[in-house]
Amino acid sequence: MVTVLRHSLFFILYLAFSILNISGQTDTRLYKIDSLTAKFKKDSAHIYRFKNIRPYAAIDNRNSFIKEGPVNVKGFQLGVILKEKHTVGFGLYGIQNSSKQNLTSKDGNSGIPLKRTLSLNYMTLFYQYVIIDKRFFELALPLEVGLGGYHIKLIDDRNDKIVSEKDGGVMLTSGGVDIVIKPLKWVGVSGSAGYRIALENNPNVNFNGAYYSYGFWVDVREIYRDIRFYGITRKKYRRQLKRYS
C-alpha cells in the first residue's frame, strides 16, 4: 500500500512538473514570437519611413526648337527633395546643332549654301513643386533660371570657309509641367512640356522656344526599399520565426 502511494505521488508530481514546464516553454515561445513580430514591424516602418530631405538626380534630355528648327538639349540635374514636395538644385545643359540654309547675295543672285553650327552650354538653378502625388499619377510644376554662353558659325558649304562667327553670353528662364504615370510603384512613363525664354536683346540671336521630353521613369529609392524589405528584412524574420513555430 505504501509503495502504491509513493508511485502515485511521484506520478502526480512528475505530471505537474511537466505541465508547468510545457506552460513555461509555451509562454517563452509566444513571447519570442511577439517580440520578433514587433521588431519586424518597426524595421519595416523604418525602411518605408517619410524623409524630410533626400537626394535627387535625373537625366534631363529634351527636344526643343530654336528659330523653329529642332534641337536636342542634353543635360542632367542634381539636388535635394524636401518633404516629398519641393525639389531644388542645379542642372547642366548643352546644345550642339548643325543645320543648312541658303543665303541670298546682295545682287539677287542664287543663294549661297551655308552650314550653320550652334553650340550653347548653360547652367540652371531649378525648383519643382509636386501638385499631385498619387499611387499611379504624379503632376509637378518645374521652374528654372540659368546662365550660359553660345557660339554660332556660318560656314560656306562649298569650301568650308567661315562666313560669320558670333559668341556671347545668355540668360535663360523656363517653366512647364511634368507628368508621371506609374503602373508599378517604381517604374512608369514620364513626359514634360514647357517654354524657354532667353533674356537676350540681340534680335539676331533668339533662343526662345518650346521644349518637350518623354521616356521611362524609374524610382531607384522604391527599388532599394523593396530589395531591403522583401529580399533581406522579411526573409530574416521568417527564418527566425520558424524556430518557434
Single-letter code of the amino acid located at 10 = F
Q: Are 47 and 228 in contact (CB under 8 A)?
A: yes
Number of helices and strands in the chain (H, E): 3, 9
Neighbouring CB atoms inside 10 A of 223's CB total 13
**Buried (b) or exposed (e) across 102-123, using 16+ Cβ within 10 A?**
eeeeeeeeeeeebbbebebebe
With the C-alpha atoms ordered 168, 207, 215, 188, is the resulting torsion angle positive or negative?
positive
Nearest CA to 113 among 94, 99, 128? 99
CA 141: distance to chain centroid? Answer: 15
CA distance 40 to 232: 12
Supply the pLDDT for residue 19.
47
CA distance 228 to 178: 29
Q: Which residues of the chain have pLDDT under 70?
A: 1-31, 34, 68, 98-111, 201-205, 244-245
H-state helical runs in 123-233: 220-226
Single-letter code of the amino acid located at 2 = V
Supply the pLDDT for residue 20.
43
End-to-end Cα, the chain, rounded Å = 45
Single-letter code of the amino acid located at 228 = R
CA distance 220 to 137: 17
The count of C-alpha atoms lying within 13 angstroms of the C-alpha of 27, restricted to the half-sphere facing its C-beta, is 6
Single-letter code of the amino acid located at 56 = Y
pLDDT, tens digit (0-9, with 9 covering 90-100), for 134-170: 989 999 999 999 999 988 888 887 787 888 888 888 8
pTM of the model: 0.76
Residues in the chain: 245
DSSP class of residue 227? Answer: I
Q: Are 154 and 118 in contact (CB under 8 A)?
A: no
CA distance 196 to 66: 10
Q: Are 189 and 216 in contact (CB under 8 A)?
A: yes
